[in-house]
Structure 1
Amino acid sequence: MDGLAWKVLLLLCLTAAGTWAQDLGQTQFICTSVPKDVDLCAASMQSSGPAEDLKSTVLQLRETVLQQKETIINQKETIRELTSKLTRCESQSFPAGPGGRRPGSKNTMGDLSRGTAETLAQLGHTLQTLKQRLENLEHYSRGNNTVQANSLKDLLQNKIDDMEKQVLSRVNTLEESKSGSRNDSEQRNRVESTLTSLHHRITDLEKGKDRPADKFQLTFPLRTNYMYAKAKRSLPEMYSLTVCLWIKSNASPGVGTPFSYAVPGQANELVLIEWGNNPMEFLINDKVAKLPFLINDGKWHHLCITWTTRDGMWEAFQDGVMRGNGENLAPYHPIKPEGVLVLGQEQDILGGGFDATQAFVGELANLNIWNRKLSITEIYNLATCNSKAPTGNVFSWTESSIEIFGGATKWSFEPCRSAN
């Protein structure tokens, strides 16, 4: 190799060494001779291959570290933002009620998870129902031309107007998310009291129409934990029973709880419930029988369930036809007395602890309970409105046997005529 080639090679090594030393710190370099006629740029690229790979790897690692650091910073910011939102939501949430057999949050003004707009629409539906009943009574009062009916009508109209203002105020408060638990409880109590007062006054007017005591239905238009009806008397001790009712609902998921009977120490002494996506269940002493009912179609259906404490035998009838039966449903456990029978809500404690997610949505009528097992013929007569059909001997469906709370409404009802 002549002197010119050595000088060029030395210059190449010194230049590379200076540059790489600046980037990589203390590094060992190897100079390699090349033929005279070879391109020096290509030779330098080939001779520096391992070092260039190392440099490229270091740069890639450095870029990866920077990207990960940026990602971590962004994630921390997201976590802080979500934590802040969660804290605000928790500070504005409603206090949970007492726990029960099934999970579910306690709502006060219906199912608030659906949004304030839908809540307003549902409550508006309730008010519209009351207004329609009031118009019917107004027409009736014209026919009778009584001063008392007109004065009551005016009073009811004022009450409904006040109720609409309260509902609008309530929804505005929800949207602004400024109501505390104490204010929420007070407003709920005012709304419930007003609805109950409206219902009682309308019922007083309707009594003047000479309607038969058992020809009525109860309507529960939305899921709440304050709309319900309650029997005025407890059930007696029973070693067998039959419970029958007319029911209409298209609620989803599940129609809720048509009735529940609680006794001291046992909230689920006697319950009919279709909760969430579960099939309809019949509970005795918290033991469960799954019923083969299909009723979530918006049509009237007649349901009957029989049970005897011996071996816990049960039978389920829909529209006069037996759909299923079983055994070992709370065998040798008598139904206890001194309890509370509630329509439209599932009790977590005696007479209360209602959960909006388990509330009944729809219409109920002709709930009757016997302390014996009815025959297939008797059940068929009930489902077909035969004149020979019996009435409940421990609970009968009459207006004087129940009290209504929270705005559940009452309408005239003819079982088989309404079902067709």
Structure 2
Amino acid sequence: MDGFSGKLFFLSCALAARSFAQDFGQTQFICTSVPKDMDLCAAATMQSSGPAEDLKTTVLQLRETVLQQKETIMNQKETIRELTAKLSRCESQSLPGPGGRRPGAKNTMGDVSRGTADTLTQLGNTLQTLKQRLENLEQYSRANSTRPANSLKDLLQNKMDDMEKQVLTRVNSVEEARPAARNHTDQRNRVESTLTTLHHRITDLEKGKDSRPSDTFQLTFPLRTNYMYAKAKKSLPEMYSFSVCLWLKSNASPGVGTPFSYAVPGQANELVLIEWGNNPMEILINDKVAKLPFLINDGKWHHLCITWTTRDGVWEAFQDGVLRGSGENLAPYHPIKPEGVLVLGQEQDTLGGGFDATQAFVGELANLNIWNRKLSGTEIYSLATCSGKPAGGGVFSWTEGSVETFGGATKWTFEPCRSLN
């Protein structure tokens, strides 16, 4: 910087310092050089106003951004309120249902895929079935004067009529205006409880109309629900091998469902026979799976038998007395555990419960027997042709006293090899 420029720089700083000192008192200043041909006042104005203008511009931009964000937040809150209201309406119009099973979730009070009116209509259909059974008893009673008392029949008939009126009234009210889910659940519980009581009373009547053996009966599951089932009154013992045989009749599709399931504490799939969805029938032991070569959903009676031993997990599958398939490594060296619950017609997700309507058995089931040993092919053929019964090793026998029904499952007379069509 030459001498003249330096003097001009010093003078501009001095003038600026003196002017600001007079206005603001003791203040520190930072002086900058300006071109020698530039007006000092204009330079001073530029130096003092530039930062302020930048700051003002920044503040305005920030303020605009804040307003935009505030507007966005308000829109999001409104959207959340709308979604919450829609969700509340959906929840108020749906039936309560739970949780999961292989491979999906579970409900506990009916098939959630069905509407309220549809479910109650099904209960009405079940009542019609009961009425038909009662009419059959009346006809039998007229032909056999020593068979059940008219007073008891009249009492049951009156109760049946009352229940039918309640169900039909309930269906009409649901169709006109859907009630709260909780009230519907309470109503259905009362209906199902009364149905179960009626089934037991009618079964007692049917027992008295002849002197048939205690094992000549079948269980009928007419609807795919998660409240209709039967249960064995005692558990299975610990088993290192077993044979389970039964008669089945079904034309349900897809899949006949779960003829039986045995659950123990800590393992819901200790021993399960299931045909679910489009999958083939399977046997589960300790949650391990083997696919079975059964073809049974033709609406005809079939005799099924599965044998298994814990050594190497060897299994065999017989249909109508003929070996259809075999395999190994099915839960090898795992004994079937005791202290469990044997359920007929439903698959268990929890001990004695957690039923899923989509996996329920639909059809007829009879003569479920279990042995704690492997039956021979000859013994199984004798069972399928009704020419003999295995001796020894039975741990569960098919008798009316060993099975109790719930939720509308019914008992009918059945004699193997006389009801095959």
SS in 1 for 2:150: helix
SS in 2 for 1:162: helix
Answer yes or no: is 1:348 the counterpart of 2:372.
no
The equivalences for 1:3-402 within 5 A come to: 87-106=88-107, 108-109=109-110, 111=111, 113-115=113-115, 118-119=118-119, 122-145=122-145, 149-176=149-176, 178-209=178-209, 210-390=211-391, 393-402=394-403
Structure 1 range deviating more: 272-281 or 385-394: 385-394
Which amino acid in structure 2 is aligned with residue 93 of structure 1?
A: S
Which is higher, the Rg of structure 1 or of structure 2?
A: 2
Which amino acid in structure 2 is aligned with residue 190 of structure 1?
A: R
SS in 2 for 1:366: strand
Distance change >3 Å, CA 413–CA 227, structure 1 → 2: same
Distance in structure 1 (CA, Å) of the matches to 2:83 and 2:176: 20
Distance change >3 Å, CA 167–CA 391, structure 1 → 2: farther
Aligned to 2:70: none
Which amino acid in structure 1 is aligned with residue 395 of structure 2?
A: V
SS in 1 for 2:189: helix
SS in 2 for 1:416: coil
Which amino acid in structure 1 is aligned with residue 358 of structure 2?
A: T
Displacement, 1:86?
A: 5.5
Structure 1 range deviating more: 402-411 or 85-94: 85-94
Displacement, 1:198?
A: 0.6
CA contact (8 A) 1:198 1:407 kept: no
- What RMSD, in angstroms, separates the aligned Cα atoms of the two structures? 2.5
Distance change >3 Å, CA 369–CA 265, structure 1 → 2: same
Distance in structure 2 (CA, Å) of the matches to 1:142 and 1:215: 24
CA contact (8 A) 2:276 2:359 kept: yes
Distance in structure 2 (CA, Å) of the matches to 1:238 and 1:174: 50
CA contact (8 A) 1:125 1:221 kept: no
CA contact (8 A) 2:124 2:168 kept: no
1:7-55 CA distances to partner (integer Å, 9 max, x unpaired)?
xxxxxxxxxxxxxxxxxxxxxxxxxxxxxxxxxxxxxxxxxxxxxxxxx
Distance change >3 Å, CA 335–CA 144, structure 1 → 2: same
Percent identity between matched residues is: 82
Distance change >3 Å, CA 182–CA 90, structure 1 → 2: closer
Distance change >3 Å, CA 107–CA 298, structure 1 → 2: farther
Aligned to 2:410: 409
CA contact (8 A) 2:120 2:188 kept: no
Distance in structure 1 (CA, Å) of the matches to 2:200 and 2:105: 31
CA contact (8 A) 1:105 1:357 kept: no
1:273-312 CA distances to partner (integer Å, 9 max, x unpaired)?
1111111111011111111111111111110000000111
Aligned to 1:27: none
Displacement, 1:99?
A: 3.0
Aligned to 2:60: none
Distance in structure 2 (CA, Å) of the matches to 1:376 and 1:342: 27
Which amino acid in structure 2 is aligned with residue 206 of structure 1?
A: E
Provide structure 1 residue ranges, at least 5 long, that are not aligned to the other structure: 1-78
1:231-283 CA distances to partner (integer Å, 9 max, x unpaired)?
01100000000000000111112111100001011111010111111111110
CA contact (8 A) 2:121 2:171 kept: no
CA contact (8 A) 2:347 2:360 kept: yes
CA contact (8 A) 1:215 1:412 kept: yes
Displacement, 1:141?
A: 2.2
